[in-house]
């Protein structure tokens, strides 16, 4: 007895490897394009994030420098005020 007894012809034709070959031929370029698109998209996002981080660093650095200048100015004001007090009141304790 043959294994194919009672199996429709359309099912017998689907058993061949040709449909799998065609699906693989279609799926492979789609897979490659999707992978390349994902990699390029990832690089784009990483570069944008790097630029954003650089801008944040510059902004933070400028804020710190401004705060430091202000603190030094306050220290200088304190020294000047103390000097004026000591000149005006040389016998202060």
More confident residue, 12 or 51: 51
Burial 69-84 (b: 16+ CB within 10 A, else e): eeeeeeeeeeeeeeee
Q: Give the pLDDT band of residue 83 (cuts 50, 70, 90).
A: very high
Per cent of the chain over pLDDT 70 is 82
Output the average pLDDT for the chain: 88
pLDDT at 92: 80
Backbone phi, psi, residue 6, to 5°: 85, 0
pTM for the structure as a whole = 0.54
Helix then strand then coil, in percent of the chain rounded to 5, is 85, 0, 15
Average pLDDT over residues 45-66: 97
Radius of gyration (C-alpha) of the chain in whole angstroms = 39
């Amino acid at each position: 007895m043959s294994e194919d007894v009672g199996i429709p012809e359309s099912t017998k034709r689907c058993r061949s490897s040709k449909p799998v070959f065609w699906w693989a031929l279609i799926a492979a370029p789609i897979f490659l394009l999707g992978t390349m698109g994902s990699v390029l998209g990832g690089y784009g996002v990483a570069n944008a994030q790097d630029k954003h981080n650089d801008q944040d660093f510059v902004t933070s650095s400028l804020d710190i420098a401004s705060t430091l200048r202000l603190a030094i100015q306050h220290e200088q004001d304190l020294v000047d005020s103390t000097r004026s007090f000591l000149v005006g009141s040389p016998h202060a304790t």
